[in-house]
Amino acid sequence: MKLFRSLDEFPADCYGSAAAIGNFDGVHLGHARIVERLRAMAARVGGPAVVFTFDPPPTRILRPQQSPMPLCWLDRKVELLADLGVDAVIAYPTDAAFLSQTPTDFFRRVVLQKLRAKGLVEGRNFLFGHQRSGDVGLLEQLCRQAGVLLEIVDPVRIEGAEVSSSRIRKLLAGGDLGAANRLLGRPHRIRGWVVRGAGRGAQLGFPTANLDSVDIMLPASGIYAGRAEADGSWWPAAISLGPNPTFGESALKVEVYLLDYQGWLYDRLLTVDLLSRLRDIRRFDSVQSLITAMTADVAEVRKTVSNYCGAGACPGNDSAQS
């Protein structure tokens, strides 16, 4: 799979493609349906399957204070699109000038002149151009005039509602990780740099990696079962998202306890998959009550990760990686 950061470096051997344009944040099941149809369109026109996406997302430029936290980072997005069978991704370095183009100018300059696409595949809610003023009706007209094939894909619906990035964010914000993971088609993944904390976890018998600079949306506060990647393998992990009221702390923290792991994690970027939400954060009357609850949490983590990874896949086995 090829990644390009500029339209000027888009090579001639990628001309004549089938293309899909959009944010593809989270690369969820709705996006997977679009890529499925994109690959079929690529076979039809005899060219590569190309995704054109934006880095950063347009909302971060147009409405920075209202721009939501992303569901995945760029390299992860590219990896997921490659897994779905996309041949090339253009992660365009978005700026205000680029977003000021009219829908017609965007179509002419990007789709026709730069991509030289023979086919387009988009969702029914696709909007493009200045102030998102172009819709699929205009896109159909432009494609027809230019002789570009177009397929509009109906949204995927699960449990009575459309799969979308905004719906997944609402589910995460409400603590419904299970539903969010079903719409993603995989566990929600976060990452952050391991920094030094108070060292209290080690004193309690559960040494945790404290994550800083987490750049992906976090679900609601709670105790979660998951897995973390370290030294090329995935390890069962108990994750605490939120404050520590038992010790009078109100600041939100991201603490990850890697079960059975003995290595050094400080100053490393730690990747964590969130598999299920175990319970709320709550204040305990004593340290011993907290230790009892954490012991039960760890037992539940082992069970959850074992069910997810399969017998023998976790920990310490590269086959557990996705």
The closest of 151, 58, 148, 152 to 111, measured between CA atoms, is 148
Angle at which helix 165-173 crosses helix 177-184, to 10 degrees, equals 160
Helix, strand, coil fractions of the chain, as percent rounded to 5: 35, 30, 35
| Active-site hit among 122, 159, 255, 300 | 255
| DSSP symbol at 262 | -
255 is catalytic: yes
Mapping DSSP onto H, E and C, the string for 133-172 reads CECHHHHHHHHHHHCCEEEEECCCEECCEECCHHHHHHHH
**CA dist., res. 163 & res. 99, Å (int):** 26
Please give the torsion angle defined by the CA atoms of residues 111, 113, 115 and 118, in that order, rounded to the nearest 10 degrees.
Answer: 70
Which active-site residues does the annotation give?
A: 255
